[in-house]
Amino acid sequence: MTETTESQDDPASPDYAQIFADLTATFESGKTRDLAWRRKQLQAVESMMSEREQEIFDALHSDLGKSAMESFTTETGYVSSDAAYNRKKLNRWTRKQRVRTPIIGQPGKSWVQAEPLGIVLVIGAWNYPLQLTLAGMSAAIAAGNCVVLKPSELAPATSALIARLVPEYLDPDCIKVIEGDVPETTALLKQPFDHILYTGGGKVARIIMAAAAKHLTPVTLELGGKSPCVVLPDANLEATARRIVWGKYTNAGQTCIAPDYVLADADTEALLVPLLEKNIREMFGDNPQQSDSYGRIVNDRHFARVSGLIESGHVAIGGQTDAADKYIAPTVLTDIENDSAIMREEIFGPVLPIIRAENLEEAIAAIRGSDKPLAAYIFTNNSRDERKFLEQVSSGSACVNDVMMFMAVHELPFGGVGPSGMGAYSGRAGFETFSHMKSVIKRGWWPDLAVRYAPFTEKKFKFLRKVR
Ligand code: NAD
């Protein structure tokens, strides 16, 4: 079922309380607990991705100028393989996990069994507008929940397409799409959801968490931050530059885990800049504005914000902008002024500042001086430096000698730490996020050890101390 985008104050607007009550009745019927139902929905997600691929590509191109291949690797292909992974692992994840029962619980058996939470709200962001709604939805379905999806209004073509396709492919009694902006989300948040998955910025995350607190609804917050990328002189700089260019300029830099800035010493910077330039040219040609492989900034507000950041340093590569086309060239900045705007906020665009750090210790100190990032990257051949970095830099995820590639591993949980987020999903972590992992002990009737019952004698006390 697709709801309108009207506010709840409008008489024509959807009645969120009624939608919630209907979903609750469906959930209570047990429909979503059935493993065959879950498998069928996940299979339908896969079919939706392959059968409607072109429509999805068109919507993503209209919202963000994404190329077909990028849309496949980061959106449809990702959503499809993630759903397939959940489907294949369902039997294993839903099996009781036996644990050892101590003497005091004998005779007895103990286990953990997953149970669905109920109704899950998924609020997506605009930068990967398909993936960030449907991957969360697949995990919630795998765990046996009903789902309300709220795609981002800042990617309107994809939001409208999700609202059209989801009811066509998935069970409309259990999965609903509500399109809309702040008023719709505010109204939705009044309902007592059993879990909320929110992806976006930290400011709105506080609003979401405050609304959730009213119902003691648990939240998973997938946020952002400035993900650092340390390049040490012993790294393979050719491969380093290629991988940084790929990670930074995918989706025109509008990726929560894109390398936000590079930390390198003066000699490494001097070697790295021409290699970055060479790779930008190889990937996007002499004029990236004409490249089918290069995206656009989502809207005028973000265009103005990101182009303003170019003034924070010396333009070593790129720097061209075209407001009418929302185009910002792949840009690299050096000689960044202290306390400049670009180092105070997440860039979230195709501008890469290189910051001087004369050694690993200096780089680590700089990173630790700011919020814990969503991702942290190091390029080095030295395993001692690698270990030191992984131990001393706290981040949601990390890569050694690459960027963003943890996303390719379904079984690695994805989430932030501190201001970059709380909780995680992907693979088993997603299943557990949307499940209650219930602890169960089943006792036999006999023997029924008298030791725990009153009267509490010295003998019983001694025995208890021993078997503890
Ligand atoms: P956005 O503007 O699309 O907002 C996210 C969602 O919040 C939308 O659905 C929107 O409707 C809703 N929203 C906005 N204002 C609201 C309000 N006042 N009350 C209730 N709901 C409201 O996304 P954004 O914030 O521009 O996203 C960019 C940020 O998201 C960046 O910081 C980025 O790093 C982060 N991000 C994180 C991840 C991740 O997986 N960790 C992924 C993508 C983006």
Protein residue with its CA nearest to atom 1 in ligand 1: 125
Protein residue with its CA nearest to atom 30 in ligand 1: 200
Protein residue with its CA nearest to atom 17 in ligand 1: 182
Give the residue, out of 75, 130, 152, with the most ligand 1 atoms within 8 A of its beta carbon, to mutate for a pocket test.
Answer: 152
User: Which residues, including other chains, have CB under 8 Å from residue 38's CB and lie 6 or more apart?
Assistant: 32, 87, 90, 141, 142, 144
Ligand 1 in reach of 209 Cβ (< 6 A): no
Task: Give the pLDDT confidence score for residue 2 in this predicted structure.
Answer: 42
Task: Give the pLDDT confidence score for residue 166 in this predicted structure.
Answer: 98
Task: Looking at the CA of residue 415, tell me the nearest atom of ligand 1.
Answer: 41
State in Å: Cα 55 to ligand 1 middle.
24
For the chain, domain boundaries: 6-223+419-439, 228-413
Task: Give the pLDDT confidence score for residue 7 in this predicted structure.
Answer: 43
228-413 has CATH 3.40.630.30 classification: no
State in Å: Cα 143 to ligand 1 middle.
24
Whole-number Å distance between alpha carbons of 392 and 372: 11
Task: Give the pLDDT confidence score for residue 5 in this predicted structure.
Answer: 40
Ligand 1 in reach of 229 Cβ (< 6 A): no
pLDDT in tens, the chain (468 residues): 444 444 445 545 789 999 999 999 999 999 999 999 999 999 999 999 999 999 999 999 999 999 999 999 999 999 999 999 999 999 999 999 999 999 889 999 999 999 999 999 999 999 999 999 999 999 999 999 999 999 999 999 999 999 999 999 999 999 999 999 999 999 999 999 999 999 999 999 999 999 999 999 999 999 999 999 999 999 999 999 999 999 999 999 999 999 999 999 999 999 999 999 999 999 999 999 999 999 999 999 999 999 999 999 999 999 999 999 999 999 999 999 778 999 999 999 999 999 999 999 999 999 999 999 999 999 999 999 999 999 999 999 999 999 999 999 999 999 999 999 999 999 999 999 999 999 999 999 999 988 899 999 999 999 889 887
State in Å: Cα 201 to ligand 1 middle.
5
Active site residues: 222, 256
Ligand 1 in reach of 223 Cβ (< 6 A): yes
State in Å: Cα 275 to ligand 1 middle.
34
Whole-number Å distance between alpha carbons of 350 and 356: 20
State in Å: Cα 124 to ligand 1 middle.
7
Sign of the alpha-carbon dihedral angle for 16, 160, 223, 175: positive
State in Å: Cα 121 to ligand 1 middle.
14
Ligand 1 in reach of 201 Cβ (< 6 A): yes
State in Å: Cα 388 to ligand 1 middle.
33
Task: Give the pLDDT confidence score for residue 10 in this predicted structure.
Answer: 56
Task: Give the pLDDT confidence score for residue 9 in this predicted structure.
Answer: 52
- Model pTM? 0.94
Ligand 1 in reach of 253 Cβ (< 6 A): no
Protein residue with its CA nearest to atom 27 in ligand 1: 200
Task: Looking at the CA of residue 125, tell me the nearest atom of ligand 1.
Answer: 3
Ligand 1 in reach of 299 Cβ (< 6 A): no
Protein residue with its CA nearest to atom 13 in ligand 1: 182
Task: Looking at the CA of residue 151, tell me the nearest atom of ligand 1.
Answer: 9
Task: Looking at the CA of residue 180, tell me the nearest atom of ligand 1.
Answer: 11
State in Å: Cα 170 to ligand 1 middle.
25
6-223+419-439 and 228-413, same CATH topology: no
| CATH homologous superfamily, domain 6-223+419-439 | Aldehyde Dehydrogenase; Chain A, domain 1 (3.40.605.10)
Ligand 1 in reach of 258 Cβ (< 6 A): no
Give the residue, out of 63, 137, 185, with the most ligand 1 atoms within 8 A of its beta carbon, to mutate for a pocket test.
Answer: 185
